[in-house]
Chain A
Amino acid sequence: MAGQIKVMIDQIIENRSKGNALLVSTTQTKLILKGFDPAKYDASSPDDPAVIARLRQVAADLNVTL
Chain B
Amino acid sequence: MGIKVAQVADGTVDVGAKLAAQLGDPAVVVYFASPKHDPESLAAEIARFFPAAATFGCTTAGELVSGAMTKGAIVAMGFDKDVVSRAVVSIVDGIRNSTDGIDRTFSEWARRLGQPMLELDPERWVGLVLVDGLSGAEERVMERIGDLTNVVFIGGSAGDDVAFKQTFVAAGSRAASNAAVLALLECPNGFDVLKTQSFHATRQFLVPSKVDKAAREIIEFNGKPAAIAYSEALGVKPDELADQFMAHPLGLMVGGEPFVRSPQQIVGQSVRFYCGVDEGMKLAVLDSTDIVEDTTAALKKALDRNPGTKGLLSFNCILRTLELEAKGQTDAYGKVFASVPTAGFSTYGEEYIGHINQTATMLLFR
Question: What is the bound-complex CA distance between A22 and B254, given in angstroms?
Answer: 14
Looking at the complex, which of B25-33, B83-91, B145-153, B229-237 is the stretch in contact with chain A?
B145-153
Q: Check if B150 sits within 8 Å of A23, measured CB to CB.
A: yes
Question: What is the bound-complex CA distance between A37 and B280, given in angstroms?
Answer: 11
- Tell me which residues across on chain A come within 8 A of B278, comparing CB atoms: 34-35
Q: Check if A32 sits within 8 Å of B252, measured CB to CB.
A: yes
Look across to chain B and name the residue whose beta carbon is closest to the beta carbon of A33.
Answer: B354
Q: Check if B147 sits within 8 Å of A32, measured CB to CB.
A: no
- Tell me which residues across on chain B come within 8 A of A22, comparing CB atoms: 122-123
Q: Is the interface of A mostly helix, strand, loop or mixed?
A: helix
A63 within 8 A of B: yes
- Tell me which residues across on chain A come within 8 A of B146, comparing CB atoms: 26, 30, 33
**A-B CB pair tally, cutoff 8 Å:** 43
- Tell me which residues across on chain B come within 8 A of A35, comparing CB atoms: 278, 280-281
Q: Check if B150 sits within 8 Å of A33, measured CB to CB.
A: no
- Tell me which residues across on chain B come within 8 A of A44, comparing CB atoms: none
Q: Check if B254 sits within 8 Å of A32, measured CB to CB.
A: yes
Q: Check if A63 sits within 8 Å of B147, measured CB to CB.
A: yes
Question: What is the bound-complex CA distance between A20 and B121, given in angstroms?
Answer: 11
A25 within 8 A of B: yes
Interface string of A2-22 (1 = CB under 8 A from B): 000000000000001100101
Q: Check if A33 sits within 8 Å of B147, measured CB to CB.
A: no
Q: Which residue of A16, A25, A32 has the most chain B CB atoms within 10 A of its CB atom?
A: A32
B118 within 8 A of A: yes
Interface string of B103-120 (1 = CB under 8 A from A): 000000000000000100
Q: Check if A16 sits within 8 Å of B353, measured CB to CB.
A: no
Q: Check if B150 sits within 8 Å of A25, measured CB to CB.
A: no
B282 nearest CB across to chain A (Å): 8
Contacting A at CB under 8 A, from B252-272, are 252, 254-255, 259
Contacting B at CB under 8 A, from A16-66, are 16-17, 20, 22-23, 25-30, 32-35, 37, 61-63
Q: Check if A29 sits within 8 Å of B150, measured CB to CB.
A: no
Question: What is the bound-complex CA distance between A16 and B254, given in angstroms?
Answer: 19
Q: Check if B118 sits within 8 Å of A63, measured CB to CB.
A: yes
Question: What is the bound-complex CA distance between A43 and B92, given in angstroms?
Answer: 42
B143 within 8 A of A: yes
B89 nearest CB across to chain A (Å): 23
Q: Check if A26 sits within 8 Å of B147, measured CB to CB.
A: no
Look across to chain A and name the residue whose beta carbon is closest to the beta carbon of B355.
Answer: A33
Look across to chain B and name the residue whose beta carbon is closest to the beta carbon of A60.
Answer: B147
- Which of A17, A20, A30 meets B353, CB within 8 Å? A30
Which residues of B are in contact with A by a Cβ distance under 8 Å? Answer: 118, 122-123, 143, 146-148, 150, 152, 252, 254-255, 259, 278, 280-282, 353-354
Which residues of A are in contact with B by a Cβ distance under 8 Å? Answer: 16-17, 20, 22-23, 25-30, 32-35, 37, 61-63
